[in-house]
């Protein structure tokens, strides 16, 4: 019998907003998560926007999968529903913002931190980098607080405070509650690479942010603010009930690690049994379909070339198995990957060669529709997501596309979804709709019955 979700969500919650990218939101978010965990709280982490990397750090810290909250991709009801589902059983939710507090899509506030604050009726702390300023910090805070005065900007954390004297100068004219003064500390930086920070599973968890937050911030005050958030009204929704109808292999390792948790949940809700495997280290599992997310195949190209998985994948695709690859996953489906002038053989399913470049080839949200082709989707279904890549494809003359984008570059001039047989590759990291997930699972089930 189907079960129904609760119509409200009352979990204490706090948004970590910032004046701009690089002001210290990630440091404060990670530190708060660690500090609350050390107090014995069950912490549910979230990240506003389409980012894949920060959530992996949250997940390592909290022991619960961090979830993305992105109104452009999910819709406002989708943000509320994901927040409710993920927060079940938690004591507090810590939500890391994106960019500056009011920054959003195309210079608007859409999908920005303030937008999500409004959707979730969530109070926020503003992280202010005070290097090179003292009294001027208050003018900055006043501007942020007054820009949309109906939002609950409940307090400020001053980051990169240079000395006790620097703190004293800032404290003289406080107009908004100060919840923390974090000293300048170069050890708080996280190693980066071309797509951003190192993934959470690649670095040892550093206890320093939690220690500094405990020593520098008013944790009781922050918990009180989080607990002041009102209940969130939610539409009634049904918890799926049923048995798996298909098995879908999910590639997940050092090379393929970019997945929205909601995508995996929607596949499971549609009747998929998810079988996780490593293309680098495991044989290809015998499943009814395959999903290869994005990641860093270029860093593991030699190992992928030597792996049996990429050869077995070609055989499965040639026999009609539905295969979906996004960005790095699509590169594995191509004939080769070229890295620093050297070609590495990949699965050879799609008629293209991937080439790494020194500069970004595309960055931003994408939107469009499926136009036809493989059975894992239906013509007319919408697709929304995000693209961010340092590669491009050299395509053969017989290239065919299954997605027409109204926003974003895709593979070539607004076309995405390169396909062959029942295999599709996209530069779009898509946020699955329930309809697409159901279509993918149905295609896998049909293949499994052959």
Instruction: List residues with catalytic annotation.
Output: 327
Tokens of residue 182, six digits: 């974090």
Backbone phi, then psi, for 119, in 5-degree steps? -60, -40
Cα–Cα distance, 199 to 197 (Å, whole number) = 6
Entry field: residues in the chain: 450
Q: Are strands 289-292 and 294-295 parallel, antiparallel or unpaired?
A: unpaired
Cα–Cα distance, 38 to 96 (Å, whole number) = 19
Q: Are strands 423-426 and 415-420 parallel, antiparallel or unpaired?
A: antiparallel
Torsion sign, CA atoms 248, 253, 255, 261: positive
**Residue from 128, 28, 72, 116 nearest 428 by CA:** 72
Cα–Cα distance, 429 to 53 (Å, whole number) = 13
- Give yes or no for a contact between 31 and 185, defined as CB atoms under 8 angstroms apart: no
Q: Residue 425: helix, strand or coil by DSSP?
A: strand
Local structure of residue 245 (DSSP, 8 states): -
Cα–Cα distance, 350 to 346 (Å, whole number) = 10
- What are the distances in angstroms from CA 213 to CA 134, 178, 190, 207, 432? 21, 13, 17, 10, 36
Tokens of residue 226, six digits: 């989080």
- Give yes or no for a contact between 273 and 286, defined as CB atoms under 8 angstroms apart: no
Report the first-to-last Cα separation within the chain, whole angstroms.
30
Residues contacting 68, CB < 8 A, separation 6+: 46, 47, 48, 49, 50, 51, 55, 74, 82, 260, 261, 262
Tokens of residue 287, six digits: 């499943």
Cα–Cα distance, 281 to 292 (Å, whole number) = 15
Helix H or strand E encompassing 344: strand 342-345
- Give yes or no for a contact between 272 and 242, defined as CB atoms under 8 angstroms apart: no
Q: Is 426 exposed, middle or buried (0-12, 13-18, 19+ CB in 10 A)?
A: buried
């Amino acid at each position: 019998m189907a079960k129904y979700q609760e119509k409200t969500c009352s979990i204490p919650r706090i948004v970590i907003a910032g004046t701009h990218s690089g002001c210290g939101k990630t440091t404060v978010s990670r530190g708060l998560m660690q500090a609350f965990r050390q107090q014995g709280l069950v912490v549910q982490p979230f990240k506003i926007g389409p980012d894949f990397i920060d959530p992996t750090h949250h997940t390592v810290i909290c022991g619960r999968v961090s979830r993305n909250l992105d109104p452009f991709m999910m819709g406002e009801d989708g943000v509320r529903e994901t927040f409710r589902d993920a927060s079940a059983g938690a004591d507090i939710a810590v939500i890391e913002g994106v960019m500056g507090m009011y920054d959003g899509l195309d210079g608007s506030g859409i999908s920005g931190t303030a937008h999500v604050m409004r959707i979730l009726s969530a109070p926020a702390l503003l992280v202010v980098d005070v290097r090179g300023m003292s009294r001027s910090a208050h003018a900055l805070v006043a501007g942020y607080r007054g820009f949309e005065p109906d939002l609950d900007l409940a307090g400020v954390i001053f980051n990169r405070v240079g000395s006790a004297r620097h703190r004293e100068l800032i404290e003289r004219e406080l107009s908004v509650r100060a919840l923390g003064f974090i000293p300048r500390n170069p050890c708080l930086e996280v190693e980066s690479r071309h797509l951003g920070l190192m993934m959470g599973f690649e670095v040892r968890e550093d206890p320093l942010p939690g220690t500094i937050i405990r020593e520098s911030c008013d944790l009781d005050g922050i918990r009180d603010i989080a607990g002041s958030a009102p209940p969130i009204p939610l539409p009634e929704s049904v918890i799926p009930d049923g048995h798996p109808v298909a098995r879908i292999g999910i590639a997940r390792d050092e090379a393929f690690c970019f997945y929205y948790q909601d995508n995996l949940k929607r596949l499971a809700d549609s009747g998929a049994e998810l079988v996780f495997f490593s293309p680098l280290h495991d044989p290809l599992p015998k499943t009814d379909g395959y999903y290869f997310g994005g990641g860093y195949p270029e860093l593991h190209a030699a190992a992928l070339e030597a792996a049996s998985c990429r050869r077995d994948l070609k055989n499965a695709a040639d026999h009609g198995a539905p295969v979906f690859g996004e960005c790095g996953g699509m590169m594995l489906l191509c004939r080769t990957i070229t890295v620093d002038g050297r070609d590495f053989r990949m699965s050879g399913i799609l008629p293209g060669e991937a080439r790494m470049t020194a500069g970004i080839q595309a960055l931003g949200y994408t939107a469009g529709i499926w136009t036809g082709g493989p059975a894992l989707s239906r013509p007319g279904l919408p697709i929304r997501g995000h693209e961010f890549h340092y590669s491009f494809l050299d395509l053969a003359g017989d290239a065919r596309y299954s997605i027409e984008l109204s926003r974003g570059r895709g593979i070539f001039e607004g076309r995405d979804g390169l396909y062959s047989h029942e295999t599709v590759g996209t530069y779009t990291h898509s946020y699955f709709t329930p309809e697409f997930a159901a279509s993918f699972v149905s295609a896998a089930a049909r293949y499994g019955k052959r």
